[in-house]
Amino acid sequence: MSADPARFVVVGQGYVGLPVAMRACEVGFDVIGFDVDKERVELLTRAKSFIDDVDDARLAAALATGRYRATSNHRELSGFDHASVCVPTPLHDGAPNLRCIEDAARMLSTHVTPGCCVVLESTTYPGTTEEVFAPILEAGSGLRAGTDFHVGYSPERIDPSNPTWKFHNTPKIVSGVNQTSLDAIRRFYDRLVERTVPVPGTREAELAKLLENTFRHVNIALVNELAMYSHGLGVDVWSVIDAAASKQFGFMRFSPGPGVGGHCLPIDPSYLAWQVRRSLGKAFQFVDIANAVNDRMPDYIVSRATEHLNRHHKSVNGSSILLIGLSYKANSGDARNSPAMAVAKHLHRLGADLRAVDPLVAAEEVPLHVRLVPLDAAEVSRSDLVIVLTDHDVLDWALLEPHADHVLDTRNRLRDAKVERL
């Protein structure tokens, strides 16, 4: 083992890996942030962040300590005491694609030494750590997981742009392939976060992560479907939710919207459904239903926009439509799987002239058929319809109500009587 400060390798420097790397550097680890994306590494080396939860100043401070370095050279990973794998786990034809996890394990395996600790943080199905990840580490190192070195799973719980819950103060689930590995992994994360939550095994930790996101996915689908039915019944769904939320027990508030986005909700519950079908030969009906409801929300928003324009003797084709927000959630520039993008794509197919306001989304993330514009009175006034899709706090919401004649608000941000809400 190396002398203090302990050497920590984080494979993947995206929305999960970069905050982990920053926190580890701040508490005294010597951190190597590895990423296969050379352009990303070059940006990090110049203290240019591309995620909401790590600003340029924080990244520059980490670089200035000399204890953080970004690299795409796997040879620089040797001699680590701890390693964390935070790589993407997309779906491919409905099945988990573990290629990035497998590649990371093979790369780290050549640097595994007795007594080191390797943790998988990427979302995956139960059994991945012990059936896929650990065997690759063993094959490449010639050492035994749980005996010669420590292996475990600790699911990421990053919530981009959450003002309250950050990496360091969000309880961290920890697990190991045996008790020895669990103890070592818990000691490691106890230095990074305020509270660790040990669980009996890696499968429990893997399934706990899927449960967290499936719980949210299913409940969002519930209120999304309720919103569609409420509109047909002439009932204000937001008043219904406010009333139900006054109950102090047995109810948790969820809000409807144009759909779900980001990496977790559109993907993670499908991991659970796939695992149940593979292992038990049964369908996980809640996930299938939730997917169907949430996936059709962008189309439903377009149908509401079409109805709104028709009532005012206009068609979508040729109408000037201003989209407020393109990212998948408020106060974040993350546009991955954003339902707002799906709405824009559908409206474009119908012939709409599309403009959008989103100061947080990078220009290169915006589709070619959408023109980014500032939020000002002129842009609002010239629009046949304004659709609120993402309610960033930085926007001047006071501009909309006095200057927009027609607004469809999917986020319940506006209160003017002339605003049509989801």
Active site residues: 264
What angle separates helix 56-65 from helix 17-26, to the nearest 10 degrees? Answer: 50
Q: Please compute Rg for the chain using Cα positions.
A: 23
Assigned token pair, 286: 């809640």
| DSSP class of 421 | E
Answer whether 288's CB lies under 8 Å from 273's CB: yes
Assigned token pair, 110: 């050549």
Give CA–CA dist 4/76, Å, rounded.
18
3-state SS, residue 50? coil
| DSSP class of 76 | G
Cα 19 versus chain centre, distance: 13
Cα 260 versus chain centre, distance: 10
| DSSP class of 363 | G
What angle separates helix 285-295 from helix 202-233, to the nearest 10 degrees? Answer: 50
* 112 Cβ contact list (under 8 Å, min separation 6): 118, 137, 140, 141, 143, 149
Give CA–CA dist 340/255, Å, rounded.
16
* Sign of CA pseudo-dihedral 366, 268, 107, 59: positive
User: What number of other Cβ atoms are within 10 A of residue 293's Cβ?
Assistant: 22
